[in-house]
């Protein structure tokens, strides 16, 4: 019998509900229980693939090609469990399925109603995860905050599940306790209101995770206990942290793992979080810095969402740096400035490594190409991810092979040298405007060429990596690229597609058509990020 833990948010968003959900998964897993993590998103979008990353964060890609909310990336990094389409629910998916069934007369002439048919479909989908994964625990995060109109049907589904499975369902409210500057003390009232709002939809929180600048004290625990109907020790301290991977460790300090098991009447097995704790301790002691620049275009929406747009890339840099004994210092470099003012390109030499991450469309592309050229010529370690690979190919074609005006057809459909183009099946998608969920998505094999940097980084000849792109390297140009110093270090064997490129005579110049960042874990950094950071680390040593 699976147990269900619903995680919902109170007071405001962006207080780390995803990290809290992932951490709950982690601490239960550390106690020897299997967990599945599920995200319910309130958007009508079928998936996150059509949502702008600057507003909603990165689109995380699962093994099976699901384009999901970035929280699924957090879940994977914490629990090392692979996410699939089943682990990601949106309002859009739920309605689409109910309407599809109605069109098939599957409701036997009954009228189809928002309640209970929509919550029932949500419950059915959660049941699918239970059936497939057979996990001891399903930790289900409900997007948004309580009191919003948009997520109410997910909460209704959770309430209905509690009614049916009384002893197998519990609720965690992740709430914010502000410490107003002038007042200087932690206030519980907004959380009291959030708890009451939850009560008004028929749900009683079992635990309240008290997100705040500081740990919660006993006086406020008592207050929350009295006004929110919980035991004082069910108010769990969740202070701000410098490193998100500390959160499970903090939860354990407050015995959240044993408290949850206790509520379900399960006996605690010995906790195995030693390696994780050792890693977080080590991170605190790191002093040596490594300076990495990310050249992108999503720069005008403010620092916070910016970091979210590239979260898997940032985390991958951290994992690899930590494992090599570095503390990374990451800077955002706006490619559009290099277009307006090419002299500013010289700033790239302040960094030990440059990453050009994934991207779409024409804006800022010429600046990225200039940055790549600068890295090539000045031997700055370079890692190009997806669009980063494609633009490195464009740069090499134009500036090394002499193919003037070479481009990707994404930006210039009429270029004389379409070095990056679409495969026939994608052309049809574009023509017929079938653009949602139709890119080359999910895990594909990549065969590595021996003697390359990538081969020695992975230490094996066949790997599998996740993709999200519509365009590809045009095989007609492979020969001329290779003649001019480009190495095709990895191909997808079934269709002979270029997956990795490298440059000869460069300390580290690697581009991947896939997104290695989706598979990096804190205790298992991605080999290519590690190789890139190792090369970047050498730049420090040369300078000193
Ligand atoms: N825009 C490019 C494509 O669609 C690259 C996508 C990406 O970087 N994820 O192929």
Comparing CA positions, the residue from 384, 302, 369 lying closest to residue 335 is: 369
Contact (Cβ atoms closer than 8 angstroms) between residue 101 and residue 107: yes
Q: Check pocket membership of 470 for ligand 1, CB cut-off 6 A.
A: yes
CB atoms within 10 A of CB 282: 12
Specify the ligand 1 atom closest to the Cα of 360: 1
Task: Provide the angle, in degrees to the nearest 10, between the axes of the packed helices 71-79 and 311-323.
Answer: 20
Specify the ligand 1 atom closest to the Cα of 471: 10
pLDDT tens string 211-226: 999 999 999 999 999 9
CB atoms within 10 A of CB 78: 27
Which long-range contacts does 320-323 make (Cβ < 8 Å, 24+ apart)? 320/520, 320/525, 320/526, 320/529, 320/530, 320/532, 320/533, 321/290, 321/533, 322/279, 322/282, 322/283, 322/286, 322/522, 322/525, 323/525, 323/530
Task: Give CATH for domain 286-421+475-483+500-537.
Answer: 3.40.50.880
| DSSP for 61-103, written as a single string | E-TT--EE-THHHHHHHHH-PPP-GGGEEEHHHHHHHHHHHHH
Comparing CA positions, the residue from 7, 72, 51, 110 lying closest to residue 120 is: 110
H-helix segments, 334-477: 335-340, 365-377, 387-399, 424-431, 453-458
Q: What is the pLDDT of residue 164?
A: 96
pLDDT tens string 263-281: 999 988 888 899 999 999 9
Q: Check pocket membership of 386 for ligand 1, CB cut-off 6 A.
A: yes
Nearest CA to ligand 1 atom 5: 387
Ligand 1, from 53, 294, 335, 360: best to mutate by most atoms within 8 Å of Cβ?
Answer: 360
Specify the ligand 1 atom closest to the Cα of 410: 1
Q: What is the pLDDT of residue 544?
A: 37
Ligand 1, from 438, 471, 515: best to mutate by most atoms within 8 Å of Cβ?
Answer: 471
Q: Check pocket membership of 410 for ligand 1, CB cut-off 6 A.
A: yes
Give the mean pLDDT of 38-57.
Answer: 89
d(CA 317, CA 517): 9
Q: What is the pLDDT of residue 298?
A: 65
Average per-residue pLDDT for the chain? 94
Q: Check pocket membership of 468 for ligand 1, CB cut-off 6 A.
A: yes
* Distance from residue 359's CA to the centre of ligand 1 (Å): 6
Residue 81 phi/psi, 5° resolution? -100, 140
Q: Check pocket membership of 358 for ligand 1, CB cut-off 6 A.
A: yes
Nearest CA to ligand 1 atom 8: 358
H-helix segments, 134-263: 152-164, 189-200, 218-228, 247-253, 256-263
Between the two ends of the chain, the Cα-to-Cα distance in Å is 59
Q: Where are the domains of the chain?
A: 3-279, 286-421+475-483+500-537
d(CA 295, CA 283): 26
Asked if the model's pLDDT at residue 157 lies above 90, the reply is: yes
Catalytic residues: 386, 515, 517
Which DSSP symbol is given to 54?
A: H
Q: What is the pLDDT of residue 490?
A: 98
Asked if the model's pLDDT at residue 518 lies above 50, the reply is: yes
| Same CATH fold assignment for domains 3-279 and 286-421+475-483+500-537 | yes
* Distance from residue 538's CA to the centre of ligand 1 (Å): 30
Q: What is the pLDDT of residue 301?
A: 52
Ligand 1, from 468, 514, 517: best to mutate by most atoms within 8 Å of Cβ?
Answer: 468
Q: What is the pTM of this model?
A: 0.95
pLDDT tens string 372-386: 999 999 999 999 999
Q: Check pocket membership of 363 for ligand 1, CB cut-off 6 A.
A: no
How far is it between the farthest Cα atoms of the chain? 78
Q: What is the pLDDT of residue 305?
A: 54
DSSP H or E stretch at residue 126: helix 114-133
Position 300 confidence tier, pLDDT thresholds 50, 70, 90: low
Position 299 confidence tier, pLDDT thresholds 50, 70, 90: low
pLDDT tens string 91-148: 999 999 999 999 999 999 999 999 999 999 999 999 999 999 999 999 999 999 999 9
Which DSSP symbol is given to 267?
A: P
Assigned CATH topology for domain 3-279? Rossmann fold (3.40.50)
Nearest CA to ligand 1 atom 1: 360
Q: What is the pLDDT of residue 541?
A: 43
Q: Check pocket membership of 31 for ligand 1, CB cut-off 6 A.
A: no
Position 495 confidence tier, pLDDT thresholds 50, 70, 90: very high
* Distance from residue 325's CA to the centre of ligand 1 (Å): 32
Specify the ligand 1 atom closest to the Cα of 468: 9
Give the mean pLDDT of 9-21.
Answer: 90
Please list the residues that pair with 6 across neighbouring strands.
Answer: 140, 171
Please list the residues that pair with 425 across neighbouring strands.
Answer: none
d(CA 455, CA 448): 6
Q: Check pocket membership of 360 for ligand 1, CB cut-off 6 A.
A: yes
% pLDDT > 70, the chain: 97
Helix/strand/coil percentages in the chain, nearest 5: 45, 20, 35
Asked if the model's pLDDT at residue 404 lies above 90, the reply is: yes
Q: What is the pLDDT of residue 542?
A: 45
> Residue for token digits 């499975």?
165
Task: Provide the angle, in degrees to the nearest 10, between the axes of the packed helices 91-103 and 114-133.
Answer: 110
Two tokens, residue 385: 């991810």
Specify the ligand 1 atom closest to the Cα of 515: 9
Position 357 confidence tier, pLDDT thresholds 50, 70, 90: very high
* Distance from residue 219's CA to the centre of ligand 1 (Å): 53
């Amino acid at each position: 019998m699976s147990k269900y833990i619903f995680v919902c948010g109170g007071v405001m968003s962006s207080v780390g509900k995803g990290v809290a959900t992932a951490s709950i998964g982690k601490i239960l897993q550390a106690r020897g229980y299997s967990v599945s993590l599920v995200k319910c998103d309130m958007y009508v979008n079928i998936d996150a693939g059509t949502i702008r990353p600057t507003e909603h964060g990165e689109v995380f890609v699962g093994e099976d090609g699901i384009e999901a909310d970035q929280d699924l990336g957090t879940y994977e990094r914490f629990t090392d469990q692979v996410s699939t389409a089943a682990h990601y629910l949106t309002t859009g998916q739920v309605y689409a399925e109910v309407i599809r069934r109605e069109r098939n007369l599957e409701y036997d002439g009954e009228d189809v109603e928002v309640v209970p048919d929509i919550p029932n479909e949500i419950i059915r989908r959660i049941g699918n995860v239970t059936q497939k994964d057979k996990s001891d625990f399903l930790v289900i995060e409900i997007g948004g905050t309580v009191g919003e109109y948009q997520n109410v049907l997910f909460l209704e589904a959770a309430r209905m599940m509690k009614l049916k499975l009384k002893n197998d369902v519990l609720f965690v409210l992740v709430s914010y306790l502000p410490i107003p500057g002038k007042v200087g003390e932690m206030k519980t009232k907004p959380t009291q209101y959030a708890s009451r709002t939850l009560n008004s939809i028929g749900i009683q929180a079992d635990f309240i995770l008290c997100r705040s600048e500081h740990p919660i004290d006993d006086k406020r625990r008592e207050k929350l206990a009295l006004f929110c109907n919980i035991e004082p020790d069910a108010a769990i301290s969740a202070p701000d942290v410098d490193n998100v991977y500390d959160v499970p460790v903090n939860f354990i300090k407050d015995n959240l793992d044993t408290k949850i098991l206790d509520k379900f009447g399960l006996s605690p097995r010995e906790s195995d979080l030693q390696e994780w704790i050792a890693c977080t301790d080590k991170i605190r002691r790191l002093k040596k810095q490594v300076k990495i620049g990310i050249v992108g275009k999503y720069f005008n929406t403010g620092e916070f969402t910016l970091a979210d747009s590239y979260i898997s890339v940032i985390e991958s840099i951290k994992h690899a740096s930590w494992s090599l004994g570095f503390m990374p210092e990451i800077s955002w470099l706006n490619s559009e400035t290099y277009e307006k003012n090419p002299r500013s390109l010289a700033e790239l030499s302040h960094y030990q490594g440059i990453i050009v991450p994934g991207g779409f469309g024409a804006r800022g592309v010429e600046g990225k190409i200039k940055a790549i050229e600068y890295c090539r010529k000045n031997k700055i370690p370079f890692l190009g991810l997806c669009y980063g690979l494609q633009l490195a190919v464009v740069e090499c074609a134009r500036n090394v092979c002499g193919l003037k005006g070479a481009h990707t057809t994404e930006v210039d459909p009429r270029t004389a040298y379409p070095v990056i183009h679409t495969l026939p099946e994608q052309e049809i998608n574009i023509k017929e405007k079938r653009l949602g969920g139709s890119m080359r998505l999910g895990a594909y094999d990549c065969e590595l060429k021996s003697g390359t940097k990538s081969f020695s980084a992975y230490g094996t000849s066949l790997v599998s990596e996740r993709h999200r792109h519509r365009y590809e390297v045009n095989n007609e140009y492979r020969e001329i690229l290779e003649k001019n110093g480009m190495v095709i270090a990895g191909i997808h064997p079934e269709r002979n597609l270029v997956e990795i490129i490298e440059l000869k005579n460069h300390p580290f110049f690697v581009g991947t058509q896939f997104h290695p960042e989706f598979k990096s874990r804190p205790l298992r950094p991605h080999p290519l990020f590690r190789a890139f950071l190792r090369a970047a680390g050498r730049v420090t040593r040369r300078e000193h």
